[in-house]
Amino acid sequence: MTRLWPSLLGAAPLVQPETILRWHRAGFKVFWCWKSRNRAGRPKIDRGLRDLIQWMSGENPLWGASRIHGELLMLGLEVATTVSKYMARPSKPPSQAWKTFLRNHAEAIAAIDMCVVPTLTFDLLFAFLVLGHGRRQLLWFEVTRHPTAEWLARQITEAFPWTSAPAYLLRDNDRAYGHVFPSRVRAMGIRDRPIAPHSPWQNGYAERLIGTLRRECLDQMVIFGETHLRRILSTYCVRQ
């Protein structure tokens, strides 16, 4: 270095070695910026387009460079293929929330519950309800005075014929299910998931369906018998 710049011999006693190294790095940077000033390459992207790419990648963290490039082309914006250079860099990999995770698996979950309905003569009827979590839709219902385990198992078979059975089934711990119902569910390839004791919130969708059914329908009329209740539930399902 002293052969190229002899004046450094006079400055050496006045500076630290780190200063010499910093000057060298700065000179190296300036030299290569000057050397590559006319280097051919992809056309530069203006500031507005760079901001748009950064905004799109920030608002859609799961989008890759190819997806953003395709969206820009659909907007009529010609851009080089190096979109990834201008994408926002997240501090950590994107992670889905629990709400998104559960929504992604909702189609594979069904829930069941029984609703007790008094009649005109003060008898008790049991309405067996099957709810799909995907669209929170009432998939099946049936009415009986005596819900036995065999009757409940038959309702599951009729609610999910052939290959339409869900992967998971949520239910409470009613003794009416007995041993026949879990055996039938396992034979259909469904994973039986009883909720914890005294925890109706774990089957919240079914509980909410029963509450809505009572407030909007059953509490507004007097039920005469099984046939009447079955007709009322059919009309309610059609209107929903």
User: How many Cβ atoms from other residues are within 10 Å of residue 108's Cβ?
Assistant: 14
Q: Tell me the average pLDDT across 78-106.
A: 76
Q: What is the number of structural domains in the chain?
A: 3
Same domain, 233 and 154: yes
Kindly list the strands in the beta sheet with 124-132, ordered across the sheet, starting from the edge strand earlier in the chain.
137-144, 124-132, 109-118, 168-171, 191-194
Domain for residue 74, yes or no? yes
| Contact in structure between 215 and 236 (CB atoms under 8 Å) | no
- 51, part of any domain: yes
- pLDDT class for 92, splitting at 50, 70, 90? low
Checking if the pLDDT of 219 tops 80, the result is yes
- Whether 138 is in a domain gets the answer yes
Question: Model's pTM, two decimal places?
Answer: 0.61
* Contact (Cβ atoms closer than 8 angstroms) between residue 110 and residue 170: yes
Does 142 or 97 have the greater pLDDT score? 142
Same domain? 115 vs 221: yes
Domain extent, residue 124, equals 102-239
What is the b/e burial string over 220-233, where b = at least 16 CB atoms within 10 angstroms of the residue's CB? eeebeebebbbebb
Q: 185 and 137 share a domain?
A: yes
User: Tokens 């889905």, residue?
Assistant: 96
pLDDT at 93: 61
Is the four-CA dihedral 227, 136, 107, 185 of positive or negative sign? negative
67 versus 81: which is more confidently predicted? 67
Q: Which tokens is 4 given?
A: 């190229």
Q: Which H or E run includes 112?
A: strand 109-118
143: exposed, middle or buried (Cβ count in 10 Å: 0-12, 13-18, 19+): buried
